[in-house]
Amino acid sequence: MATAVAPTKVAVKEKPKTFAYSSDDIKRMLPHRWPMLMIDRAYDVVPGVSGRGIKSVSVNEPFFAGHYPDHSIMPGVMIVEAMAQLVAVVYVAELLEAPAPAEGDPSSSVGYLGSISSMKFSRLVVPGDQLTLEAKLGQKLGGLRSVSVRASVGTELAAAGSLIVTTGRKG
């Protein structure tokens, strides 16, 4: 005699909704402007959780005039700044995409870079490269948030490390 086996329910984890932001969207999200606006596009953004972005590196960037002028390389601090700006987009997206979005200027909620840890640079970034940026927000520590960041060119890792950012501005 055969016994009937009840079908088992398999928990399927729903993929979170992602968003993409153009350069014009990013200008509305961040307080930065040229020449300090460092990201061109953001995509796969899970608000408040993670995201990816693009920084197209052009020989016309003002820092190339004085940073190794005969051998153009993007300064590491500018790579870190681009990653930090992606973090801000992920953070602001949480406010914009909420069921009841916050009123006012979303860029006013962008905080500051508080700490850079274990940052390792493993490839030079030069004009013509396209940096793919990744950010994954970690735990909140009061008014601070830890973040894991990466930057690559194609399949080659250019930089990776951890940041601490403030979750708001004061003063």
- The gap between the terminal CA atoms of the chain, to the nearest Å, is 78
- Measure the CA–CA gap between 67 and 91, rounded to whole angstroms: 31
| Strand ordering across the sheet containing 144-153 | 19-21, 41-46, 50-56, 130-141, 144-153, 156-166, 113-121
Tally Cβ neighbours within 10 Å of residue 89: 25
- Measure the CA–CA gap between 36 and 110, rounded to whole angstroms: 15
Bridge partners for 50 per DSSP: 46, 136
CA-CA-CA-CA torsion sign (167, 82, 19, 139): negative
Encoded amino acid at 89, one letter: V
Cis omega (within 30 of 0) on the bond before 101? no
Active site residues: 67
